[in-house]
Structure 1
């Protein structure tokens, strides 16, 4: 039987690309080029790409995918080796604050792999956990660029707020297509918007940068697209996320 094309071993959760990539690229721009930061980025991408081979190898993508993809286990091993190697280099090159943030990222990554093995990828709790784990690499990258711990934590928390809003929005749009209640999604987006307003009032500089993400979330919640136009949801939220990234870059 012919092997499954390598493209099938790429993660299928397309929103995860933005959650990992945009904060990471923004952090690299802000922190500048450091060996530790670059190694964190490579380790994060490798760990992310290892997710799909893991699911295929353990049979979560179906027996047919497992039988037709003999390269999955080898791909998984290579990606995990790259993750560990780059992680060790980052630990060697980084400061104490970078060390602790990398340990935190490692714990989050290990838990994410454990959850992947357990299944239930599409539950709300699993998706919100993915937001936390995928956005976390921005911290050691920023710290490697000598940004303060307070600014780094504020930046990460802002990404958590923004991506929590977009995650709830996507689920709200899907609920609208299924004619299900969207009350929890409205409450979540409203609560996160109020939180950003409160933090801005308390003189935090970065939370307002999430405004484009929140505005796109409100727009899609108010006017959810037809089922045939669901790609519009992803691209709209990506546009809002990029706008927030630019705003954050200017602010920091």
Structure 2
């Protein structure tokens, strides 16, 4: 008579926490301005090194949060040591590539690096106060990510007016997109009890008007045209009550509007 034999089973190992940035939108807020900067300029050694430094510093953001305990005590206890190793490695590479880029970059590009440095310091303060997820916090984070493209564009030989127009277009467009996302989140979390849609729609319209005014004042017209798609889409989201089930579709629509912004900027500023 056959009997069942019990074999020891291996205990499944817990899945290790990913130390890559979790915010998918932030990847786009970093990539789109950098792609614009490289497209309207040239991929010189300075521009390439500065781009590498920015990307490495961005990836180091998640290990920093884990090491500081911003992702919770459990994450720090389980992955804190690994996060520190990641942080040291990525930080070292970012410093090395950044230094190389600064040394090779023209003076205008070096001066432009003051803006992302200042905004990064502001983001650090917001993170420490746990305010980076507020509307103002999200806008500051988006501006910090977008501002890196300014120095990269100048390091690649882009015209100063074109580099500035690209910077302002991305900051204004991302600010408008953030307003729309915040409206959706408030509606979902409050189950419709709170709705800042009208207020945010007015602000998004003012952002588009600001882009138009800047172009009228002498900056390339591509600034106004590139800001318009995301600003208009933001206004629609703010004023129309979409079903929470369509959040994924709306997210992809915002990505599409950013892609249109990228095309307009490259075509108009190159």
Between the aligned partners of 2:122 and 2:213, the Cα distance in structure 1 is 32
Aligned to 2:87: 76
Residue of structure 1 in register with 2:63 after alignment: 53
| Shift in alpha-carbon separation, 1:147–1:212, aligned structure 2, 3 A | same
Structure 1 residue corresponding to 2:195, chosen from 181, 193, 209: 181
Q: Structure 1 pair 249/110, CA: closer, same or farther in 2 (3 Å)? A: same
Q: Which of 198, 209, 231 pairs up with 1:194?
A: 209
Q: State the match for 1:231 in structure 2.
A: 248
Please give the secondary structure, in 2, of the residue aligned with 1:236: helix
Task: Report the TM-score when normalising by structure 2.
Answer: 0.85
Tell me how far 1:169 sits from its aligned partner.
0.8
CA distance in 1, matches of 2:91, 2:124: 11
Which has the higher mean CA deviation after the structures are superposed, 175-184 or 164-173?
Answer: 175-184
Find the partner of 1:135 among 127, 140, 146: 146
Q: Which residues of structure 1 form unaligned runs of 5+?
A: none
Quote the residue 1:31 is aligned against. Answer: 41
Runs of 4 or more off by more than 6 Å in structure 1? Answer: none
Cα deviation 1:72-110 (Å, max 9, x = unaligned): 111111111111111100111011111111233233323
SS at match of 1:68: helix
Q: Which of 37, 41, 52 is residue 42 of structure 1 equivalent to? A: 52
Gap change, CA 1:235 and 1:78, over 3 Å in 2: same
Alpha-carbon distance in structure 1 between the residues aligned to 2:119 and 2:26 = 15
Unaligned runs of 5+ in 2: 1-12
Report whether the alignment pairs 1:208 with 2:222: no
Alignment match, 2:6: none
Counterpart-to-counterpart distance in 1, 2:181 and 2:42: 33
Please say if residues 165 and 189 of structure 1, whose CA atoms lie closer than 8 Å, have aligned partners that are also in contact. yes
**Contact kept in structure 2, 1:56 and 1:62, CA below 8 Å:** yes
Describe the shift of the 1:130–1:40 C-alpha distance in structure 2 as closer, same or farther (beyond 3 A): same
Aligned to 1:220: 237
| Counterpart mapping for 1:94-173 below 5 A | 94-173=105-184
How many residues align structurally? 251
Structure 2 CA distance, aligned partners of 1:203 and 1:104?
A: 22
1:2-21 aligned at under 5 Å gives the runs: 5=16, 8-21=18-31
CA–CA distance in structure 2, aligned partners of residues 62 and 163 of structure 1: 28
Query: Does the 8 A contact of 1:34 with 1:144 survive in 2?
Result: yes
2 CA distance for matches of 1:41 and 1:141? 7
Aligned to 1:251: 268
Partner SS state of residue 157, structure 2: coil
For each residue in 1:7-27, what CA deviation from the matched residue of structure 2 results, as whole angstroms up to 9, or x when unmatched?
A: x21222222111111110111
| TM-fit CA distance, 1:120 | 2.0
